[in-house]
Structures are given as C-alpha cells and as structure tokens.
Amino acid sequence: MALPNGPVTTSSEAEAALFDLVDVYDRAYEAAAAKLSLSPAQACVLGRLDERRGMGALAEELGCDASNITQIVARLEALGLVTREPNPRDRRARLVARTPRGDETNHRFATAFTFARTAVGRLSPDEQDQLTALLRKALG
Amino acid sequence: MALPNGPVTTSSEAEAALFDLVDVYDRAYEAAAAKLSLSPAQACVLGRLDERRGMGALAEELGCDASNITQIVARLEALGLVTREPNPRDRRARLVARTPRGDETNHRFATAFTFARTAVGRLSPDEQDQLTALLRKALG
DNA sequence: CCCCGTTACTTGAGTGAATCAAGGATCATT
DNA sequence: AATGATCCTTGATTCACTCAAGTAACGGGG
C-alpha cells in the first residue's frame, strides 16, 4: 500500500476533506488493481488503450519517461493483455493495443474500481453538479 | 512522476472532476517533495513526526509493513532529518523524532505544498463549507 | 542520392517503495 | 525459568521511475 500523500498541517476542514478524498481514492484504485494482480501503473496504462496508440503518445499523456512506458507495456504484453505491433507507416514506432483478454481485464478493473462511482452516487444530481462546479473552481 | 490513477471510463462530470483533483493533488505533492530532494514517502513520514513515535505506530497509521518504515526512516536518518533513539521503557522499540533540520525541512515542505491551500483559497468561506459537506457526504 | 539532425523506442544502470519471510532481541505471562 | 507474543531489522524480490546512451528509421537540404 502506497503511503498517503498526507496533510502536513491541516489548516482547514476543507483541506482535510480534500486529503481524505485523495487518500481513499488512491487506496481504492490500488486495491482494485491488486484484485486483478495488476499494479496501479499497469491498470492505468491498460485503461488508456481504448484505441491503439504509440508508446510516445502514452508517455506524453501520462507525463513520464518513454522508457517507463516501455517497461510497463512489456509486462502487460507478458501477461497477454496487450500487443505491440509495428506501425506500418513508421517502422520506428510501435502501436500498442489491448488484446481481448486485455479488454476483459480492463472491464473487470472498471467494475472493481467502484470508489468514484459510489462516492458520486451518494450525492443527489444537484449536489453532483455543485461538487463538480466547486472542484472546477478550486482547480482554477 | 507517478502515473495517474486515471479514470477508466469517465461516466459523469463529477467523477471526472474527482479524478482531476486527485491527479493534480498527487502531482503537486510529489513536486513539492522533489523540490526538497525527498520522495513522497519520505515527506509523508517526516510530516507525521510532530511528536516522536515508534516505528510500529508509524506503520499502522500509514497502513504499510513495518519493514517499509524501517527503510524510509533509515534514509531520513541518513539525511540527518530524523533520529532513532532507543525507547527507555522498551528496549525492543525505537522512538523516531525529527531533528532541527528535519523540522525545518518539514516546514519548507509544508510551504512548498501549496496545492490544497491554493485550491481551497479559490473558494469563498461558504463555498468551502459546501465543499467540505459534499466531500464528507460522498465519502460516506 | 547521401548526409544529418530528429524522432521513436529500447537498454542498462541506479534509486527507492513496497511486500514477504525469517530472524534476533526483548517483553510479559504463566 | 520457559513460552509466546511483540518490535523491529535483514534479505530477497518485484516493480516504478529516471537518466544516459544507444539503435533504427524518418525526413529534409545539399
């Protein structure tokens, strides 16, 4: 279990609530991935492959080094969840795509990661809109 | 940069907002720690040492294995940010405490991690209360 | 057509988080 | 005094992540 990105000084109620949310969210994500024997990073990459795409595109979207993606995709490939086909238009590049088993695993992950769904579901539609507006404003 | 605990399927606006919040929060936490050459885990442990405490207490609070804490505290100790004194009441146990430099580093981290403060600061006091109430309700 | 800089990805080395299994030391109880 | 539990450490392993360096292929200018 990853250590929480905890509050240093809890100056306000709202800040504490934000921290609690982030902590619970992260733990739930990790737990859902673990249920499928995936690391959070693997689940994340798998979830970005609704359409096949290149390694570089993944790296840029996820904000990490390309060599990091190489490793994670290699593990997903070894698990049979992903293929890494050559790009016919550019022989330097690879196109990563989920296999049928990858699709199924991704779907099972989406089902297992209930936290966001459940949390939002505790709010009425009006409250959901309020929350969205407040979060958007807070994010600046 | 840690991969985001991204949305698998973005079914609602509110869920997407939650994900964005978590992602930005985590990245800001990591960036603040990196500014002080600390890992997120190190910053986290350092932040829990306002009072001296045992390794086991840390492990339990942070929800991880004791041996994980052993490593992190060892690195903090090597950095001169923490001491690991024997507990006079129980010679098996160790009491971990921040050094003066650890106090200063922790304070600088708290200053550098502006995200939660800034985000909440974009809201009026009323809005802050609303956000807190909504998050608490969503967390169940 | 060939050089050349750029791009796409891989490889290797290194750090650190995290978990598990096993072990040593000490405590606390019988 | 023996036993079992508790506190922590050590060792082994896996994985994420980063950086530096390398390979292969694209694409444009001479």
Dist. CA B87–CA A85, nearest whole Å: 59
Listed in sequence order, the residues at least 6 apart from A13 whose beta carbon sits closer than 8 Å to its beta carbon are B128, B129, B132
Inter-chain residue contact B7 with A116, CB threshold 8 Å: yes
Tokens of B25: 């929060």
Residue A6 confidence (pLDDT): 75
Angle (deg, nearest 10), helices B100-112 and B40-47: 110
- Confidence grade of residue B9 (pLDDT, cut at 50, 70, 90): confident
Inter-chain residue contact A130 with B130, CB threshold 8 Å: yes
pLDDT at residue B69 is higher than 70: yes
- Per-residue pLDDT tens digits for A40-72: 999 999 999 999 999 999 999 999 999 999 999
pLDDT at residue B114 is higher than 90: yes
Chain Cα centroid distance, residue A90:
28
Mean pLDDT of chain A: 95
pLDDT at residue B130 is higher than 70: yes
- Confidence grade of residue B8 (pLDDT, cut at 50, 70, 90): confident
Q: Are strands B82-87 and A90-98 parallel, antiparallel or unpaired?
A: unpaired
Inter-chain residue contact B1 with A64, CB threshold 8 Å: yes
Instruction: From chain A, pick out residues whose CB is under 8 angstroms from the CB of B48.
Output: 6
Interface probe for A, chosen from B50, B104, B135 (most Cβ of A below 10 Å), is: B135
Identify the three-state secondary structure at position B82.
strand
Alpha-carbon distances, residue B33 vs A89, A123, B39, B96, B133 (angstroms): 42, 34, 6, 20, 29
Class of domain B26-139: mainly alpha
Inter-chain residue contact A132 with B8, CB threshold 8 Å: no
DSSP designation for B1: -
Which residue approaches C20 most closely, CA to C1'?
Answer: B65
Average pLDDT over residues B62-84: 97
What are the E-state strand segments in B81-121? Answer: 82-87, 90-98
Dist. CA A27–CA B107, nearest whole Å: 26
Domain A37-114, architecture per CATH: Orthogonal Bundle (1.10)
- Confidence grade of residue A1 (pLDDT, cut at 50, 70, 90): low
Domain spans of chain B?
Answer: 26-139
Closest to B27 in 3D by CA, of A138, A63, A19, A116: A63
- Per-residue pLDDT tens digits for B44-64: 999 999 999 999 999 999 999
Distance from CA(B9) to C1'(C29), angstroms, rounded: 56
Average pLDDT over residues A87-101: 97
**Which nucleotide is nearest, taking the CA of residue A53 and each C1'?**
C8
Alpha-carbon distances, residue A97 vs A54, A58, A77, B14 (angstroms): 9, 11, 10, 29
- Per-residue pLDDT tens digits for A6-38: 777 777 999 999 999 999 999 999 999 999 999
Residue A105 confidence (pLDDT): 98
pLDDT at residue B1 is higher than 70: no
- Reported ipTM exceeds the 0.90 cut: yes
| First CA to last CA distance, chain B | 30
Chain C nucleotides reached by a protein CB under 7 Å: 7-13, 16-22, 24-28
Give yes or no for a contact between B32 and B49, defined as CB atoms under 8 angstroms apart.
no
Average pLDDT over residues A100-118: 97
